[in-house]
Amino acid sequence: MYKGKQKLQVKVVTPRGTKVDERADMVILRCTTGDMGILPGHQPFSMLLDYGVLRMVQQDRERILAVYGGIAQVKGDQITILTDGADWPEEIDPVRAEADRSAAERRLAESGDRVAAQQDRALLDRARLQLSVRADQGKSKG
Amino acid sequence: MPSMKTVKRRANAVGAMQQVVKAMDMVATVKLRKVKAQHEALLPFTRAMAQVIRGLQACEGAEDNLFLRARPIHHTAYVVITGDRSLCGTYNSNLSNEALAHMEMGRNEQLITVGAKGYEFFRQRGKNLLHHHTKSSDLATYEDAEAIARLLVDLYSAGEVEEVYLAHTTYQSALSYLPQVTRVLPIGGAQRADAQDECMRYEPGIHEFLTQVVPMYLSAVLYGAMVESETCEQAARMVSMSAAANNAEEILDDLTLAYNRMRQAAITQEITEIISGANTGRSAR
């Protein structure tokens, strides 16, 4: 594992405020092209994010954050993630996520409106990610 | 001359009105605080987003992207942001008039309205209303902005409109707000010449990247405009409601004074009558 002195400054910015502004040894992102690990000193780089978890490795612990799409930019030792939304696992309400999922699935099955369908698909992706993050957390605890 | 009873009744009515007006002032103050917090939370996002867009514009091959390239203009979409309610001074009419003046400069307009006041204004004038967005709650949410951004991207990529303008109100100070019409699509202001920072690598590719970033950028711009306009609306409402409360206070003072004068006059008259009655009684004896 990488044990250098350099650290990454990780910023997760959403329209509702800055979610994360911390240092980390490594981050692993879920990009549209697959998972990607970023270490300090990476070349300048921009990528599209998929709905997925962001893993931040800090010394001996790892924190995860559910990120709902967006983009990431690496510049020097800074990594900035711009996303519509992000949640820590403990902030996710599984009951609400389940309700969102079934509502979105039902609407997608019957609706014909293109713009509304896009919205429902985003909601569905978000709910699915939330549920999987919660499920993983339950496993690691149990 | 009005009777004492009428004056009393008017004073009561004005008093009741003043209470309502004061309550509205208070509600506006609370909402103003909320939207200001929303605006502040958004700032880091819009700043970072503007930087990303600038970076993209500096790249070779970006200038022929659909969202950055100017096309011959046949149809123009307008997003008009007004409030749902009145009693906020000239806030709604200023914005609607500004947008109307902009459209009359020979544009073939398609309207998307946010807020009932703007919708009514343009419906009465027989404008081409494409869509009216009803906010899901009292204050604008990011989801509202996202829904409109999706619609705009849809229209723009389908070639139904070639440019998009945003009519919104900018906050100058607690007492001055400026209605403005700004172009949001195509994204202009590219400065390829003095872009010194070289193009960074984009994964999977600059065009795919733009396809995802532009809706986010638009949502952020729209949300920012909605929040800022709401700040103006609430500030305007606060100002006009506190002015109304002051006016009510003045009227109430005048009415109280008038009532007291009349009461005094009535008492004086009664005393005079009693005395003169007593005098005639005595002289008659």
pLDDT tens string B235-263: 999 999 999 999 999 999 999 999 999 99
The distance of Cα B276 from the centroid of its chain, to the nearest Å, equals 66
* Phi–psi pair at B59, nearest 5 degrees: -85, 145
* Average pLDDT of span B103-122: 87
Dump strand ranges (E) for chain B. Answer: 76-81, 109-114, 129-133, 163-173, 176-185, 201-203
- Look at B202 and A47 and tell me if their CB atoms are within 8 Å: yes
* Statement: residue A3 has pLDDT above 70: no
- What is the spatial distance between Cα B187 and Cα B41, in angstroms, rounded to a whole number? 24
Q: Quick check: A142 pLDDT over 50?
A: no
For B208, the closest of A43, A48, A119 (CB atoms) is: A48
How many C-beta atoms surround the C-beta of residue B96 within 10 A?
23
d(CA B83, CA B233): 7
Domain pair B4-21+241-276 / B28-237, same fold: no
Residue boundaries of the structural domains of chain A = 8-87, 92-141
> pLDDT tens for residues A93-112?
888 988 988 888 888 888 77
CATH superfamily of B28-237: ATP synthase, F1 complex, gamma subunit (3.40.1380.10)
Residue B264 has pLDDT above 70, yes or no: yes
Residue numbers in A near B213 (CB within 8 A): 71
R_g over Cα of chain B: 29
pLDDT in tens, A56-82: 988 888 888 999 989 999 988 899 999
Type and span of the H or E element at A67: strand A61-75
Please report, to the nearest 10 degrees, the dihedral formed by the alpha carbons of residues B61, B62, B65, B70 taken in order.
-110
Mean pLDDT of B149-166: 90
Task: Give the range with max mean pLDDT: A70-79, B119-128, B187-196, B251-260.
Answer: B251-260
Is residue A73 a contact partner of residue A79, using CB atoms and an 8 Å limit?
yes
Residue B100 Cα distances to A70, A74, B74, B121, B130, angstroms: 36, 44, 18, 10, 16
Domain residues of chain B, as ranges? 4-21+241-276, 28-237
Q: Give A-chain residues touching B150 at CB under 8 angstroms.
A: 115, 118-119
So what's the pLDDT on residue B71?
85
Select the residue of A32, A43, A119 nearest B204 (Cβ to Cβ): A32
Q: Which residues on B lie below 8 Å from A121 (Cβ)?
A: none
CATH class label, B4-21+241-276: mainly alpha
Spatial CA neighbour of A45 closest among A8, A15, A3, A2: A8
Per CATH, the architecture of A8-87 is what?
Sandwich (2.60)
pTM: predicted TM-score of the whole model, two decimal places: 0.86
ipTM: 0.84
Q: For residue B192, what pLDDT is reported?
A: 52
